[in-house]
Structures are given as C-alpha cells and as structure tokens.
Amino acid sequence: MVVTRDTPQRNQCSATATTSVMRASNSDDNKRTDREPTDAETRLIIEFTVPAETFILAHTLRAVPDIIVELEQFVPTYGEGFPYLWVTDNDDDTSFEEHAAEDPTIVTYSQAADLDGGALYEVEWTDTETPILEWLRNHDVVVLEAEGNDDKWTFKLRVTSRAVLSDLQRYCNDHDITFDLIRLYELTDPKMGQYNITAKQREILLAALEHGYFEIPRETTLKELGDMVGITKRAASERLRRAHTNLVSNTLRIGQLTGVGIDEDDI
C-alpha cells in the first residue's frame, strides 16, 4: 500500500538520492570547504533529547501516543532526509497510517515490511522545515539513532568535533528549544567487524538463520531468538533490525560503503 498526499514541493528521500549526495560530496564541483576530520573527531558521539514538536511526525505522535518511531538512516545527513521509518509498540497499524496520511511532514509512505514487534515504512518527506530537521539538513553529521514518541525525540549523532555540539546548543537556544544533553563521548573502540557487523549482531543473525527465523513459515520466534542470546524479545528485535541495516548498507550499496555501523553494547 502506498499513500500519497498532495503537496507543491517534495524532498526526495530514496536510496538513489542518498547515493547521489554521497557521490556529489566527492566531486570536483563540490563547493563545500570543510576540512577532512581526524579519526578522533569522527568518533565523537553525542546523545540528546528535544521536544517532539520540534521534529518530524509531531502530528502523528500526538494522535497515536502509544507508538514509538525510529528513523533508519546511517549515512551523513547533509542535504538529505530519512527514507525509512520503523514503527513499534503499535498493535493497530491502521491507526498510525490514518494519522500519517494527514501529517504535514509526509508526502507519501508505503509499508516496506511487517515484522514481529513493528513495521518498516519507506517515507518521502515534505519540504516543511521543523527546527531540528533544518539543523540536521544543514550539518554534516551521521544519525546513529533517532527515536520519537509523543513527548520527545532522542538522538545519537556522530559528529566531527565539539564545535558541532556547541552549534547545536546555540541553535536550540536561539529557537527556544529545550535541549537536554544525555552523553558526550569518544567512540574509542567501535568493535565493528566485516560489513560493520558487531559480534552480537553476527550472533543473532546466525542464530536466526540456523533456527529457521527467515523461513516461511518461521520455525522460531523473536522471543526464542532472544532467549538463545540472553536478551529480551524487544532487544532481539532491535539487534536483528540493526544487524540487517548494517549488513545491507555495506553489501548491497556496492562502491558506496558508508563505513558506519551501529553497536549496541547497552542492549
């Protein structure tokens, strides 16, 4: 199912657009003068929260307060949007979809996958600017995690320097946005293996394969997978999804490896 809203302007958020942006960043025509960050700088991680109304989907999150949404985007966001959206804790998909169809930040969406514990949507966003979206589009950062509910959005970003954090804090202050910094740290040991798959992600992928999780019909459940690796059903869903994202991002995008992966030692 594909749902489209009429709008005069569109911000194309697709794999093709992402590839084009990444290629453009390496072209001779690129007018940006940013210096290349050092290894230490690219490992700087910031985690923070902002109010839900300062980012996308504010209308939908208010209307369906029981859901949690997560953005799937693991490449630099400069000039780009977020093509994939994961919706969890929602027993009724139609409730989310009814309100998403009226959300002023969405042009069109379609359900890409329906899995245990949630659904994955491919989304095209409008050019409607929300404050935090505007800042992300204008800064060369990597969104590692972005989770929203009816109260707030929680972000984990990889940034090039502390100056980026200072700029974000200044921007929020200028726009009267409540900014709560959770953590600031250097990722000194990413622990990423081949294809940016962590050891824990590899473990659950192999368990899923060996125990028939990908078979039709499935021969095991998310809860059983979680029990095998010693985590909850929700954590198993998160880990398996991130493993899929890292694997696909670094294998199917031939010649366009992001070099970015997600580790979840806190799960």
- For the stretch 166-186, pLDDT in tens is 999 999 999 999 999 988 877
Given a cut of 60, whether residue 214 has pLDDT beyond it is yes
Task: Choose between 17 and 76: higher pLDDT.
Answer: 76
Both 204 and 181 in one domain: the answer is: no
Distances (CA, A) of 109 to 199, 233, 245, 248: 33, 27, 19, 21
Given a cut of 70, whether residue 40 has pLDDT beyond it is no
Domain assignment present for residue 170? The answer is yes
57 φ/ψ sector (left φ>0, alpha ψ -120 to 50, else beta): left
Given a cut of 70, whether residue 74 has pLDDT beyond it is no
**pLDDT at residue 137, rounded to an integer:** 84
Give the residue-averaged pLDDT of 217-234: 91
Q: How many domains does the chain have?
A: 2
Both 95 and 19 in one domain: the answer is: yes
Both 171 and 111 in one domain: the answer is: yes
Both 37 and 114 in one domain: the answer is: yes
Residue pair 105/130 in contact by the 8 Å Cβ criterion: yes
What domain range includes position 33? Answer: 2-186
**pLDDT at residue 77, rounded to an integer:** 52
E strand or H helix that includes residue 188: none
Both 204 and 182 in one domain: the answer is: no
How many CB atoms within 10 Å of residue 82? 18
pLDDT band at 252 (very low <50, low <70, confident <90, very high): low
Mean pLDDT of the chain: 75
Residue pair 83/73 in contact by the 8 Å Cβ criterion: yes
Domain assignment present for residue 88? The answer is yes
* CATH code, domain with 214: 1.10.10
Q: Nearest 10 degrees: CA dihedral of 138, 144, 148, 151?
A: -80
> Which of the given ranges, 30-44, 66-80, 196-210, has the highest pLDDT on average?
196-210
Instruction: Quick: pLDDT tens for 136-151.
Output: 888 888 888 899 999 9
